[in-house]
Amino acid sequence: MQDGNSLIPRILVIRFSSLGDVVLAAPVFQALKRRLPDSQITLLTKSEFAGIHRSNPDVDEIRAFDPATRSLSSLIQMVRGGGFTEIIDLHGSLRSRLITLTGGTRSRRYHQERIRRLLMVLRPPFKRIRPITPVIDRYLAAAGSIDPSMEEGVPVIHLTAEEVETGRAWRREVMSDRDGQLIVLLPGARHAPKEWPLFRFAELARLVNLGGDTPVVVAPPDNPESGSVLHDMEESVTLAGPVPDIMKLASLLAAADGVVANDSGPMHLAAALGTSTVGLFGPTSPDLGFAPRGERAAHIHRAISCSPCSKHGQRVCWRQERHCMLDISPREVIDALNKCCSAPEGPETGGISETS
């Protein structure tokens, strides 16, 4: 920049998608603001995820785009004209690489550890379980943060006062004549092999109800009928109303006492909101670097010989039964959830943004 603000660092952070990855980018903004308090931080992401960090006090600007209507060339022009002094690429796709290479300023890119991931998802006996740095730590390294003493490795999502009240109103409606806790069940996942069977969720709901709490199912947008199916299996399950967008989902998750979810974006969202969260892993693994973080976050994973079999859980299981998911018992999930609910809150939790 050539004006009076030329000494102010203007940093562009790129993370287009998906939900979980955008959530996990939160510690980067905090780390950048601690290292460069006067910096101006801009996030470039897809429109559907723009609300995630809209109330983040460490994010000064969000530039959202719809890939169906915004061309790569227009994105490059936008970046080149943005006056950015540094670009941090947390996506690592061809599109983000082209933007950073032609952005007209210095850039950093997070390390994807492709070889180690490949070795982890091979079939036995070729599989090699080698440590993979958690994705949050790789994001932070790309942002130039290497101080492990700083409490910047736990994502925190902030909501506006209106969003918080939306969740509280929904909770009052659901729990109007009930005592106990409200436990949200999220049976969805981007890929079907990652889903804990619905009959297991039904068994879990039965245990939740017997414990005096209220199980509520939030069906995924791409499989809305799963909520009705689960309700038919276990009548104690309450069906949540329509969830039109991610921020409405965030409002509901923030108002819950606990969340049980498959390895998915909503799992990370719930944990980042400070809600007690248990993530269920099967064809994927926390060892791939995507375990939920937080004082009240936990995960369950059966480390059988063939797991993980893919990075994102899209590979169809070659066994007759998906033991990596079937062998997770509802009682085990209840125990993990109770432990999360009894854990003390961390130094930061999601909630109302100070800027709202």
Residue 130 has pLDDT above 90, yes or no: no
| pLDDT computed for residue 303 by the predictor | 85
Closest CA to 291 of 304, 302, 280: 280
Average pLDDT over residues 316-344: 91
Report the helix count and the strand count for the chain, using DSSP H and E: 13, 13
Q: How far apart are CA 183 and CA 195, in angstroms?
A: 18
Q: How far apart are CA 222 and CA 239, in angstroms?
A: 16
Residue ranges covered by each domain of the chain:
10-142, 158-352
Domain pair 10-142 / 158-352, same fold: yes
Q: How far apart are CA 141 and CA 106, in angstroms?
A: 16
pLDDT digits (tens, 9 = 90+) for 62-95: 999 999 999 999 999 999 999 999 999 999 999 9
Query: Hunting for tokens 């009930």 — which residue is that?
Result: 178
> Cβ atoms within 10 A of the Cβ of 151, count?
12
| pLDDT computed for residue 7 by the predictor | 80
Give the global pTM: 0.93
pLDDT digits (tens, 9 = 90+) for 208-242: 999 999 999 998 777 788 888 998 999 999 999 88
Give the CATH class of 158-352.
alpha beta
For 292-325, letters b (16+ CB in 10 Å) and e give bbbbbbbbbbbeeebbbbbbbbebebeeeebebb
CB contact at 8 A, 84 and 103 = yes
- CATH number for the region 10-142 comes to 3.40.50.2000
| pLDDT computed for residue 343 by the predictor | 80
Mean pLDDT of the chain: 90
Residue 146 has pLDDT above 70, yes or no: no
